[in-house]
Structure 1
């Protein structure tokens, strides 16, 4: 039932999320309507076919408000389940469970929505050898969680932040005075991973000669991507990025690129339809 991620403070996240909902007065509806000694049992279930992500975190919300609650997690993160699947059962103090309900649902709906969309993209490029990556286009404060959800959907994580790899883009190049010079500066700084964005074939060799370790091929059509991959000739990994959609990703993957990054996995994924129905004991 535990939910632990490197760099993610679960307890602080739960506390701040509940505090946002409770305010100063607390759950005035449950306090007024539900007897203090009432107990509930509830089942959380998917209403659509989804890929599950965040079950342990959802359970932790209930446990925070009712440490004596009995919780049974019925499916694992990363599982693809049909509509109507029971995901979690919980039994405990009615007031506490009702108070935690929306925070738990918001979290698992958001994360499972990302995982579900990610799996759709992964399935679209199956068999091509290309690997799907997420991006830094995440909701502020939720990056670790959202990138966890893309992992559950079958993608790999790209950069976690500005600190774990250099990514030289057009604005960096403009200030540095050229791609080659920008890359050389990063190499001289001792940065091991130097990702360079290029949007023209003639930028590839200067980037490679200066020491780029990864090329991001930005907004190139499939024909140009094939030419770029041939020019790189396996010297470094290649990443197709920009304007990737579900109806175009297969053709992009078939150009031979190593990776394809998709911002909409975290930026535009719809929430999964998951409900929680309670009954009195």
Structure 2
């Protein structure tokens, strides 16, 4: 069964876009547009892709033009998650020229980087096609933009790891060091967690992995293991736990990781190293 399309809350979209518009307009507004354009000038603009990629962030772009003032119409020609080619029209924008010009940068500042994340995520997803592995993000995101960046990952066909520290328990190496052992850390988490709280534990060696399985772990993160070690872990697991590979995962290696038989592959690359997709707004001014 395919997943339903990703969706963003209108509340968080409008809150973020309002803050971005306030930052960009300052106290006096768009001086350049006020100085060069008449209040009666109208504009028609095409928002187009200049390279191949996957779109994400249309709701944010639409909100920028909607919130800038009355009379601007934003008509998307594609959906988030759609692939585009160079020259494809992503949206048509029309309305008072001053308003269109004033909202342009905020719209693109959301749309370009989010589409870049969706595009890179899709490349990772395409690279593991035919295996059972799912591509996941991490909490390595730009502060304040996590919800949007993780949304873009979903638009690219990826899956989300934790959104925040209160989503689930993820026992990492430093937790284990302080707790004293893999078993001690896992049992403490098990005693603390409610029945709906997931627990994952990170291991770096096969010895730690076997200890985690013996402690009852059902989700194990295999951190910075080479492919040979990952295959051994999959063999030792015998289907008891879901296995996530992480650490140093890049596009040129992700296929070979997937072929070891792990269930999930998480990478910070898709949110922290994705280049923005080149999208631009070409405007025609209609003077009265």
In the superposition, the TM-score normalised over structure 1's length comes to 0.96
RMSD: 1.4
Distance 1:36 1:120 in 2: 45
Name whichever of 22-31 and 232-241 sits farther off.
Answer: 22-31
Alpha-carbon contact 2:44-2:93 (below 8 Å) kept: yes
SS of 2:70 mapped into structure 1: coil
SS of 2:234 mapped into structure 1: helix
Q: 1:38 aligns with which of 36, 41, 58?
A: 41
Q: Indicate how the Cα distance of structure 1 residues 4 and 233 shifts in structure 2: closer, same or farther if over 3 A, else same.
A: closer
Which residue is 2:151 aligned to?
Answer: 148
Alpha-carbon contact 2:21-2:68 (below 8 Å) kept: no
Distance 1:32 1:262 in 2: 47
Which residue is 1:238 aligned to?
Answer: 243
Q: How does 1:82-97 map to 2 (within 5 A)?
A: 82-97=85-100
Distance 1:44 1:7 in 2: 22
Distance 2:229 2:28 in 1: 60
Moved over 6 A (4+): none
How many residue pairs match? The answer is: 279
Instruction: Determine whether 1:226 maps to 2:234.
Output: no
Q: 2:198 aligns with which of 193, 199, 203?
A: 193
Distance 1:6 1:143 in 2: 13
Which residue is 1:60 aligned to?
Answer: 63
Instruction: Determine whether 1:251 maps to 2:261.
Output: no
SS of 1:139 mapped into structure 2: coil
Q: How does 1:169-184 map to 2 (within 5 A)?
A: 169-184=172-187
Which residue is 2:22 aligned to?
Answer: 19
SS of 2:248 mapped into structure 1: coil
Distance 2:229 2:191 in 1: 31
Alpha-carbon contact 1:4-1:10 (below 8 Å) kept: no
Q: How does 1:99-114 map to 2 (within 5 A)?
A: 99-114=102-117
1:8 Cα deviation from its structure 2 partner: 6.0
1:235 Cα deviation from its structure 2 partner: 0.8
Question: Structure 1: 5+ residue runs without aligned partners?
Answer: none
1:36 Cα deviation from its structure 2 partner: 1.2
Which residue is 2:53 aligned to?
Answer: 50
1:208 Cα deviation from its structure 2 partner: 2.1
